[in-house]
Amino acid sequence: METNQTSTHSILSLTLGVLSILISLGIGTGIAGVVLSKKASTVIRNTNQGGKGMAVSGMILSIAGIILQLLVLLSIITFMMLIDAG
């Protein structure tokens, strides 16, 4: 019975995806997670390694983290503009 080794890139992309949601300035980690997830998908396809689910999850979490951080940034800017106007 042959076991496939899990791609290191997919593990890193999942980790960065989770961190992009949890830390306050997760835009950079989210972008790195997206890049690593794309690289993991390519490596998995070419080498028949495991971890495709982790790579997809890392991509989804990284994108969600980027969107969340952009919404927080937009909220802060809007709040600051309302304070200045009032």
Cβ contacts of 66 within 8 Å, gap of 6 or more: 20, 26, 27, 30, 31, 34
Helix axes 8-22, 27-47, angle to 10 degrees: 160
pLDDT tens-digit readout, 44-70: 999 989 999 999 999 999 999 999 999
> Mean pLDDT, the chain, as a whole number?
90
Q: CA–CA separation, 50 vs 65, rounded Å? A: 24
Q: Distance of CA 11 to CAs 15, 30, 65, 73, 74, Å?
A: 6, 14, 17, 28, 30
Give pTM, 2 decimals: 0.87
- pLDDT the model gives residue 79: 95
pLDDT-based confidence at residue 1 (cuts at 50, 70, 90): very low
